[in-house]
Amino acid sequence: MTTGPVYKLLTEADWSRAEASGATATALDVTDGYVHLSTRAQVHETARRYYSGQARVRLLRFDPAVLGDIRWEKSQSGELFPHLYGPLEIARAAGSWWLAAGQDGAPVFPEDV
């Protein structure tokens, strides 16, 4: 578990829906019943694995203390990931960026993430 920020990645379509509703609601999150988040140590691999090939990806940073019911649960690999049980309101984001795809297709992060 971490005391640092947690991150959420969104496709452009997911971001458009979040802007319209005020909260994220990706297909995976709706299916699983919680919001998938990543720590700083995890978010680069999450982006490479699930968002490569996207022209633009929205990255949101949150302070977990303001989000509510975060549970640390094992992924299929056994690694603990933060999961939010409740809405992820985009207005609570402490930072946001558009990530463009690099030459390998994976999203390129700002230096401070």
Type of residue at 41 = A
The alpha carbon of residue 2 and the mean position of all alpha carbons in its chain are separated, in whole angstroms, by 15
Per-residue pLDDT of the chain (113 residues; tens, 9 = 90+): 667 999 999 999 999 999 999 999 999 999 999 999 999 999 999 999 999 999 999 999 999 999 999 999 998 889 999 999 999 999 999 999 999 999 999 999 998 89
Q: Checking phi first, is residue 23 left (phi over 0); if not, alpha (psi -120 to 50) or beta?
A: beta
Tell me the backbone φ, ψ of residue 24, rounded to 5 degrees: -75, 155
Strand residues in the chain grouped as ranges (E): 6-11, 35-36, 38-39, 56-62, 70-74, 80-84, 95-100
| Residue-range domains of the chain with CATH | 6-99 (3.20.170.20)
Q: Could you give the CA distance from residue 88 to residue 38 in angstroms, rounded to a whole number?
A: 13
